[in-house]
Amino acid sequence: MDSRAIQDTHPKRFSYIEKQNSYIEKKNTDPKNFPDTKKNIDYSNQACDANTKLHNSIIIGGKHVNNRMFLAPMAGLGHVAFRELLAEFGGFGLLFTGMCSAKAVPTENPDHSTVFKWREEELPWLVCQLFGSEPKSMVNAAKRIQREGFFGVDLNFGCCAAAICKKGSGAALLRNQTLSMEIVSRVRDAVSIPLFVKFRTGWENNPDQSAQMAAMFQKSGADALVFHPRVAPDRRARPPKWEHIKYIKNAVSIPVFGNGNIFDENDCKKMLHISGCDGVSIGRMAVAKPWIFAHLNLHSRTPALSDHENDMTVFKTNNNIAISHQPENFTAFQAPNIDSPNIYHYTLSRFITLLLKHHDEKTSIKFFKKFVPYFAAGFKFGHKLSQKLLKCENTDEIRQNIDSLFIPLPETISRPNLNLFS
Ligand SMILES: Cc1cc2nc3c(=O)[nH]c(=O)nc-3n(C[C@H](O)[C@H](O)[C@H](O)COP(=O)(O)O)c2cc1C
pLDDT in tens, 170-198: 999 999 999 999 999 999 999 999 999 99
Phi, psi of 360 (to 5 degrees): -75, 175
Interval between CA 264 and ligand 1 midpoint (Å): 17
pTM of the model: 0.85
Q: Is 359 a residue whose pLDDT tops 50?
A: yes
The model's confidence at residue 237, banded by pLDDT at 50, 70 and 90, is confident
CB 287, CB 374: distance < 8 Å: yes
Which position among 48, 100, 128, 159 bears the catalytic label?
159
Question: Which ligand 1 atom lies nearest to the CA of residue 72?
Answer: 17
Interval between CA 259 and ligand 1 midpoint (Å): 9
> pLDDT tens-digit profile of 90-100?
999 999 999 99
Phi, psi of 20 (to 5 degrees): -60, -45
E strand or H helix that includes residue 152: strand 152-157
Interval between CA 131 and ligand 1 midpoint (Å): 13
Q: Is 325 a residue whose pLDDT tops 90?
A: no
Range 124-150 average pLDDT: 98
Q: Is 313 a residue whose pLDDT tops 90?
A: no
3-state secondary structure 211-223: HHHHHHHHHHCCC
Question: Cα dist. 14→21, 138, 277, 381 in Å?
Answer: 11, 29, 20, 52
Q: What is the pLDDT of residue 44?
A: 47
Q: What is the pLDDT of residue 406?
A: 96
State yes or no: is 392 an active-site residue.
no
* Residues near 235 by beta carbon (within 8 Å), at least 6 away in sequence: 160
**Stronger pLDDT, 50 or 23, i.e. the higher one:** 50
> pLDDT tens-digit profile of 255-302?
999 999 999 999 999 999 999 999 999 999 999 999 999 999 877 654
Q: Burial-class residue 244 by CB neighbours within 10 Å (0-12, 13-18, 19+).
A: buried
Q: Burial-class residue 310 by CB neighbours within 10 Å (0-12, 13-18, 19+).
A: exposed
Q: Is 331 a residue whose pLDDT tops 50?
A: no
Q: Please choose from 70, 74, 115, 268 the residue to mutate so as to test ligand 1's pocket, defined by most ligand atoms within 8 A of CB.
A: 74
Within 6 A (CB) of ligand 1 lie 72-77, 98-99, 129, 156, 158-159, 198, 228, 236, 259-262, 282-285
Q: What is the pLDDT of residue 317?
A: 34
Q: Please choose from 284, 292, 293 the residue to mutate so as to test ligand 1's pocket, defined by most ligand atoms within 8 A of CB.
A: 284
Radius of gyration of the chain (CA): 21
